Structure 1
Amino acid sequence: MRAPLSVIIPTLDAAEGLPGTLASLMSGLQAGLIRELLISDGGSTDATIRIAEEVGARLLTGRPGRGAQLARGAERAGGDWLLFLHADTELSPGWTDAVEAHIARTPDHAAHFRLAFRDGGTPGRIVAGWANLRARVLGLPFGDQGLLISRKTLDSIGGVPDLPLMEDVALARALKGRLRPLEAEARTSPARYQSEGWITRGTRNLALQVRFFLGADPAKLARRYASRPEN
């Protein structure tokens, strides 16, 4: 039986964090869980492409935008199950057991990891705690928490929405009632929070989410997300 899992990572100048992410996936290869790794790049000018080629990933290139990049990866993936993962997120030891258990026991549901920040200190634990509570109570995990989903389930909700931002929220809303937490962590980089301030970044993220729920243009939200607040 062929390995069931296609891992899809959207990238854009992700050379700094990508090696750690790839290293954390090695246990999945060793366990025979990962069938293929797809790097869906949006025009990197750093060493991202070289890193992807060195590890033997399938490289897909096209216009930037996380939703579009994930959709390209999903379209080309050959696995019965897909794992969407950010390029600066490392999975904790034991993640393969958690994924295998989910695939075996709850194949009709998608799943996400618990969020943690690498070297985030007390602010990181607070933000991660809120994110995990939101995911558990409201069924709205962050994209940083990864998304494990079967091809069948993804097709049933119309695939990945072509959004430059908030594609994770749109997917979670489409999967309402069909999302489960995995017993493993997705450990993401705190760099953006640390550079802008935990309170500032967290407040901006919350404001963007509220505006999305109220019908704001995701393209405009994406530009605001990428920009830094004025001092």
Structure 2
Amino acid sequence: MVDHLIIFTRYPEPGRTKTRLIPALGPEGAADFQRQLTEHTLRQVRSLQQRRSLRVTWCFSGGDVAAMQGWLGSDWDYQPQAAGDLGDRLIAAMHNAFAAGATTVAFIGIDCPAIDAALLDQAFHVLEAADMVLGPADDGGYYLIGLCRPVPELFQGIDWGTAVVRQQTEAIAQSLQLSSHLLTPLNDIDRPEDLPLWDAVQRQMLSVIIPVLNEAGNIRPLMEALQQVPEIEVIVVDGGSQDGTAAIAQTLGARVLFTNSPRACQMNAGAAAAAGGILLFLHADTRLPHDFPTAVRQTLDGAHVVAGAFDLGIQGARWGLRWVEWGVKWRSHLCQMPYGDQALFLRAETFRSVGGFAELPLLEDMDMVRRLKRVGRVAIAPGRVSTSGRRWEKLGILRTTLLNQLILLAYHLGVSPNRLAAWYRDRNFSK
């Protein structure tokens, strides 16, 4: 069986997409909203691919294939939408898919953020026994239609964009004696009054922001691990790598941004571009614990919690590393002072309210945590990250720990962060 998913979308051009939302969002905002919805759909599709093998086609208008590949990646099939009304475009895409060998075809748009991998998987499962599956939208249309053979009649004579689309479609299916199954009714986002639906999705969406500089050796295994986690947004912010880090991240599905160092600038840029209501800042040489999205959300739901992080695990067998881990655990739990290599996370609204990361050349994570402690509790989530022991191996455990403490002491005594950063670099102590 060859399952084929066809996604109808539009390249996000200001003034030419989501025009009904322009009064509320403006042309640029409406185009960005189109981008966010499409990328949200892409995450669900990647998650679906972990459940079943399927072919995916993005059926687009606006832009061209090169623009779509630059946006969503080159590992997809792209087809411009045919001419005519929506019915004509659906018929053309349907015939193309079945002619290419599909045994089941499902169509979706990007306007329904509640569509997830489980629902898409259910739709294809239904088509193993039924002629048609339909996802009813509350406005009288449908957010999904799936077929196990070409039935062009289902898309002819339909009053598209009205409240009778689903009713007319079901009547045609009945006249053709097609067996059909209805999925759970969901809402589309078409008008300004629908926007709260997206706000609810965004609030629970998790954006993982990874600042990088020449991390080609780490970014591939990190991205491959994150690809196994459904429904997260991954943003890689490159600070001028010369080793192909950005290209590797793009080929593995990350959204890649480019900005200048220091790392604080990179993380602020990633946060500004993130769609998620929860931000997690991750070093490229750090691996997150299993089911970290659940741990993050549950931690942030705690009383008076404004941010969180994980316990630290350091890769390596040397006994001194266990002492470092113990010290970090004590500092994090009792003093509420986790650092950046522990995967700091917080809600986007909290990040904005404290002004983001101070654009310091180093210690931007400690500065952020100190400011967060003034407004609430910084909690430690269950589980621990695993980070590279390379900086301890480079200078030795004792020397690295002493240098860390000297830098912190000097910072507390008022030494300029710029002077500390120069001292840090001079001793070749960068991570």
Task: Tell me the equivalent position of 2:401.
Answer: 202
1:169 Cα deviation (Å)? 0.5
- Out of 227, 233, 242, the position equivalent to 1:45 is 242
What letter matches 2:366 in structure 1? V
1:110 equivalent in alignment to 2:311:
no
Question: Structure 2 length normalisation: TM-score?
Answer: 0.50
Structure 1: how far apart are the matches of 2:265 and 2:317? 30
What letter matches 1:129 in structure 2? W
Structure 2: how far apart are the matches of 1:8 and 1:229? 26
What letter matches 2:208 in structure 1? V
Report if aligned partners of 1:19, 1:51 keep a CA contact under 8 Å in 2: yes
What letter matches 2:237 in structure 1? S
Deviating more after overlay: 37-46 vs 216-225:
216-225
Over residues 153-197 of structure 1, what are the superposed CA-to-partner deviations in whole Å (9 max), with x where a residue is unaligned?
112211111112001100110011420001011111001111110
- Which runs of no fewer than 5 residues in structure 2 stay unpaired? 1-113, 115-200
Structure 1: how far apart are the matches of 2:303 and 2:347? 10
1:120 Cα deviation (Å)? 4.3
Cα gap change, 1:59/1:160 in structure 2, threshold over 3 Å: closer, same or farther?
same
1:191 equivalent in alignment to 2:191:
no
- Out of 152, 157, 174, the position equivalent to 2:371 is 174
What letter matches 1:93 in structure 2? H
What letter matches 2:309 in structure 1? H
Task: State the secondary structure of the residue aligned to 1:175.
Answer: helix
1:47 Cα deviation (Å)? 2.4
What letter matches 1:144 in structure 2? D
What letter matches 1:14 in structure 2? E
Question: Structure 1 length normalisation: TM-score?
Answer: 0.90
Task: Tell me the equivalent position of 2:220.
Answer: 19
Structure 1: how far apart are the matches of 2:305 and 2:275? 18
- Out of 328, 332, 335, the position equivalent to 1:135 is 332
Structure 1: how far apart are the matches of 2:428 and 2:266? 26
Q: Identity percentage over the alignment?
A: 34
1:28 Cα deviation (Å)? 2.9
1:158 equivalent in alignment to 2:355:
yes
Structure 2: how far apart are the matches of 1:21 and 1:225? 26
Task: State the secondary structure of the residue aligned to 1:17.
Answer: helix
Over residues 4-59 of structure 1, what are the superposed CA-to-partner deviations in whole Å (9 max), with x where a residue is unaligned?
11110000001122223223323432xx3x1x211111100012112111112111
Structure 2: how far apart are the matches of 1:109 and 1:27? 27
Cα gap change, 1:16/1:107 in structure 2, threshold over 3 Å: closer, same or farther?
farther
What letter matches 1:95 in structure 2? F
Structure 2: how far apart are the matches of 1:157 and 1:26? 31
- Which runs of no fewer than 5 residues in structure 1 stay unpaired? none
Cα gap change, 1:72/1:229 in structure 2, threshold over 3 Å: closer, same or farther?
closer
Report if aligned partners of 2:222, 2:284 keep a CA contact under 8 Å in 1: yes
- Out of 213, 217, 223, the position equivalent to 2:422 is 223
Runs of 4+ aligned structure 1 residues displaced above 3 Å come to 103-108
Structure 2: how far apart are the matches of 1:94 and 1:5? 12
Structure 2: how far apart are the matches of 1:206 and 1:21? 29
Determine which structure has more spread, i.e. the larger CA radius of gyration.
2
Count of residue correspondences:
226
Comparing both chains, which one has the higher relative contact order based on Cα–Cα distances under 8 Å and sequence gaps of 6 or more?
A: 1
Deviating more after overlay: 97-106 vs 7-16:
97-106
Structure 2: how far apart are the matches of 1:107 and 1:54? 40
Task: State the secondary structure of the residue aligned to 1:92.
Answer: coil
What letter matches 1:217 in structure 2? S
Cα gap change, 1:197/1:18 in structure 2, threshold over 3 Å: closer, same or farther?
same
